Amino acid sequence: MDDLTYRPRSAKPSPAKTAKANLQFRDLELATLADAVPEGPDWVHEVKFDGYRTLTVIDGGQVTMYSRSGLDWTSKYRDIARRLKAFKVDNAILDGEIVALNEHGASSFSRLKAELTAGRSDELQYYVFDLLVLNGEDVSRQTLLQRKAKLEALFSGVDFGNHVIYSEHFQENANFLPHLCSLDMEGIISKRVDSPYSGKRGKAWLKVKCHKRQEFVVVGFTESSHVGRGFRSLLLGYYDGPTLKFAGKVGTGFNDDTLREIRKKLDQIKVIPKPFSKLPPDVGKGTWIEPKLVCEVEFTEWTPEGRLRHPSFQGLREDKPAKAIARDTALPVATAVRAAAAEVTTEPAKPAKARHPAAPLKSSDRIDVSGIGISHPNRVVFPALGVTKLELARYYASVAERILPHVAHRPLSLVRVPENVDGQQFFQRHLPERGGLHNVKAVDVPVKDRTEEYMQIEDRLGLLSLVQWGGIEFHPWGSRADRPTLPDRMIFDLDPDPEAPWESVTDGAAEIRDRMTELGLESFLKTTGGKGLHVVVPIERKYGWPAIKAFTKAIAESMAQDSPMRFIANMSKAKRKGRIFVDYLRNDLTSTAASAFSVRARSGAGVSTPLFWKELSPKLRPSDYNIETIVKRLDKQKADPWADYFEVRQQIRPEILKALKIDPK
């Protein structure tokens, strides 16, 4: 979240002091469940929609639409994104909800899921209810009513064809909630008129639901006795702190399509022992799985035993991590109103001054690692392994001399994780506006018809400063910062479908090596830190990105043509079944790939590990290389498999480019 503070109710924002806009994803304002609608002039109310919360960034005519967890879902909402270009703005950040209407005109989550599953977005609607940035000005600290007035003015004179809609608010009306509920709507969101946009869950926004409905974690399923039915019921749970608790099972609300769709997903998740010590006898024999899937369920009430009564399945949720699913408990409205007033009127604390790397630490909750103070050192970043933020920082400090040649002096992106890898993750391309990062600098990169600022580091302090900021994965560009349009390496990412045999992955890497050798090019092998392999080819800086992309595409397509049952050069997951995607798309301006020695922000804490070519065999298991094992490997290693990587000087022969009809520029 950006370093924005609350403004007292009586204060008005000064244009001269307004924060500079940060045009990227940021944490969303979330509402607290209350047991009634708050009354009085301090509150306004909006319709609560049953859809997907969506943050939109508009910048220079480009529209990016993010899920609540920061995933880029622009392609899912392509028709909405196209219409949003009609806004007469240089840039803006909008907050709203994507919905689909049922035959009664009410927002329907099941209808929304059906539309998205079918790949359709032309009948979706985007209700926009807040504005965070407008034409370079960050307005999130202004009051709700000030922001909504600016937002409403944006809609003036723009025809969105009822697909992009300003979400109006209304004053207190005692009959409005019963009226909405009679129309089968979701409920009401009540908001303090003087509240800033805080980017967290607070009491200044309250939600009051028409029906008892919330998300649950799918912890297992029971088999059906009917042939062809995917399963009988889903077994549900939720988290109470770190503890997973059983919530019952749901066996209604499914159709044939959802039964088949969900069963496919269930079969791809690891089966585990029963995660609960005691269960009611009527649960029956179940298959228990890792708690990864999240679904939404409507029910009438909780039983005294803590189970759902009359639950009905509404759909799977792709926008919320399983670890974030807790039991909803409505707060008494009087308590919520008092807390909201305190949130809005409390004076913000003065921001702390940035600590110089050489300055001594003054707080016992920060531990120094190579000159950078690591805050929250005991926070567990990888719950499955128990690896803490401090251990992550010490890992990067220990491999700094190895990873820096791959990431320093390059435009750099990273995957940031504010809490742990089971929660929210952000793909960070740009520096934060607030600064405070040691030895992290900006680099200007020409992108299409504009120049953008990306980040770069030069040394260990910069590396660890990004780890302190929540960085886990380091994704360098394939070019250096001084000449970003001229790549100095090519990369082939072998990305297997879950059903593809591992031997096809290793065969694919060997085939790329052999093809490169035939063309007079030396290549290097590493794991991705996930389920695939990278083949990396250093190259002299004399070709533009279009040439390198065209060359790698030709190799990938040739492999797919020669072995169509093993390889594919099309990124479509639907067409990839059982095959390896030879991903050449990472060879382009602004594209990235995980660096050698980078930890991946996944539960197993895999590390992208350089390998000797002689280690390539079907017995190779990339999962063997993680944050807990890589240091031991490096300690035992007598030679570096990539020792010659930065010494290689090689070019693509002109006759090859000519034969492929590739312009080297």
Following DSSP, what letter does each residue of 276-294 receive, concatenated? Answer: -S---GGG-S-EEB-S--E
Q: Do the beta carbons of residue 257 and residue 247 sit within 8 Å? A: no
pLDDT in the model for residue 175:
66
Q: How far is CA 443 from CA 121, 335, 409, 433, 593, in A?
A: 37, 49, 9, 14, 18
Task: Return the half-sphere exposure (C-beta side, CA atoms, 13 A cut-off) of residue 255.
Answer: 7
% of the chain with per-residue pLDDT over 70: 92
The alpha-helical segments, DSSP class H, found in 372-472 are 389-398, 400-407, 460-468
Secondary structure, 3-state, 125-146 = EEEEEEEEEECCEECCCCCHHH
Q: Do the beta carbons of residue 238 and residue 327 sit within 8 Å? A: yes
- Give the residue with greater pLDDT, 665 vs 490: 490
Closest CA to 516 of 653, 662, 660, 655: 653
Choice among 13-27, 177-191, 488-502, 635-649 with the minimum mean pLDDT: 13-27
Q: Do the beta carbons of residue 428 and residue 616 sit within 8 Å? A: no
pLDDT over threshold 70, residue 390? yes
pLDDT over threshold 90, residue 418? no
Helix (H, G, I), strand (E, B) or coil at 422: coil
> For residue 399, how far is the Cα from the chain centroid?
26
pLDDT in the model for residue 173:
59
Confidence class of residue 447 from pLDDT cuts 50, 70 and 90? confident
pLDDT over threshold 80, residue 524? yes
pLDDT over threshold 80, residue 174? no
pLDDT in the model for residue 612:
96
Choice among 72-81, 324-333, 461-470 with the minimum mean pLDDT: 324-333
pLDDT in the model for residue 109:
85
d(CA 382, CA 388): 7
The mean per-residue pLDDT over the stretch 338-365 comes to: 53
pLDDT in the model for residue 358:
38
The mean per-residue pLDDT over the stretch 540-560 comes to: 95
Structure tokens at 87: 């806004």
Residues 361-384 pLDDT 10s: 444 457 888 888 898 888 899 988
Structure tokens at 547: 């040439």
Residue type at position 219: V
Q: Do the beta carbons of residue 411 and residue 443 sit within 8 Å? A: yes
What does the mean pLDDT of the chain come to? 86
The mean per-residue pLDDT over the stretch 304-317 comes to: 89
Residue 638 burial by Cβ neighbours in a 10 Å radius (0-12, 13-18, 19+): exposed
- Give the residue with greater pLDDT, 428 vs 642: 642
- 511-519: Cβ within 8 A, 24+ apart: 511/559, 512/555, 512/559, 512/582, 513/613, 515/555, 515/558, 515/559, 519/652, 519/653, 519/656
pLDDT over threshold 90, residue 240? no
d(CA 650, CA 405): 19
Q: Do the beta carbons of residue 268 and residue 531 sit within 8 Å? A: no
pLDDT in the model for residue 284:
74
Q: Catalytic pick from 17, 20, 48, 350?
A: 48
The mean per-residue pLDDT over the stretch 37-59 comes to: 91
Structure tokens at 607: 């590390």
Residues 575-622 pLDDT 10s: 888 899 999 999 998 899 999 999 999 988 999 999 999 999 999 998
The mean per-residue pLDDT over the stretch 497-518 comes to: 94
Q: Do the beta carbons of residue 203 and residue 340 sit within 8 Å? A: yes
pLDDT in the model for residue 453:
83
d(CA 120, CA 100): 11
Choice among 116-130, 344-358, 509-523 with the minimum mean pLDDT: 344-358
Closest CA to 208 of 97, 42, 27, 45: 45
Choice among 1-5, 430-434, 488-492 with the minimum mean pLDDT: 1-5
Instruction: Give, as one character, the DSSP assignment of residue 592.
Output: B
Closest CA to 321 of 292, 298, 289, 288: 292
Residue by residue, DSSP assigns 102-114 as -TTSSB-HHHHHH
pLDDT over threshold 90, residue 325? no
Chain position carrying tokens 């303090």: 192
pLDDT over threshold 70, residue 565? yes
Q: Do the beta carbons of residue 68 and residue 28 sit within 8 Å? A: yes
Confidence class of residue 21 from pLDDT cuts 50, 70 and 90? low
Torsion of CA 316, 602, 385, 437, to 10 degrees: -120
Residues 253-302 pLDDT 10s: 998 888 988 999 999 999 999 888 778 777 778 899 999 999 999 998 88
Torsion of CA 121, 134, 33, 254, to 10 degrees: 10
Q: Would you call 48 a catalytic residue per the annotation? A: yes
Closest CA to 221 of 280, 324, 293, 278: 293
What value does the CA radius of gyration of the chain take, rounded to a whole number of Å? 26
Confidence class of residue 24 from pLDDT cuts 50, 70 and 90? confident
All structural domains of the chain: 15-210 (3.30.470.30), 213-324 (2.40.50.140), 366-476 (3.90.920.10), 489-659 (3.90.920.10)
pLDDT over threshold 90, residue 50? no
Segments of 458-611 assigned E as strands? 471-476, 489-496, 524-527, 533-538, 567-568, 580-583, 610-611
Residues 112-166 pLDDT 10s: 988 888 889 999 999 999 999 999 999 999 999 999 999 999 998 888 888 999 9
pLDDT in the model for residue 564:
93
pLDDT in the model for residue 172:
66
% of the chain with per-residue pLDDT over 90: 55
Choice among 20-34, 61-75, 511-525, 646-660 with the minimum mean pLDDT: 20-34
Closest CA to 127 of 96, 171, 162: 96
Residue by residue, DSSP assigns 50-97 as SSEEEEEEEETTEEEEE-TTS-B-TTTTHHHHHHHTTS--SEEEEEEE
pLDDT in the model for residue 401:
92
Ranges 96-110, 232-246, 316-330, most confident: 232-246
pLDDT over threshold 80, residue 460? yes
Choice among 11-20, 397-406, 475-484 with the minimum mean pLDDT: 11-20
- Give the residue with greater pLDDT, 278 vs 21: 278
pLDDT over threshold 80, residue 409? yes
Helix (H, G, I), strand (E, B) or coil at 179: helix
Confidence class of residue 346 from pLDDT cuts 50, 70 and 90? low
d(CA 438, CA 441): 9
pTM as predicted = 0.50
pLDDT in the model for residue 74:
93
pLDDT over threshold 50, residue 352? no
Confidence class of residue 191 from pLDDT cuts 50, 70 and 90? very high
Q: How far is CA 299 from CA 215, 243, 302, 311, 659, in A?
A: 11, 23, 8, 4, 65
Structure tokens at 75: 């392609």
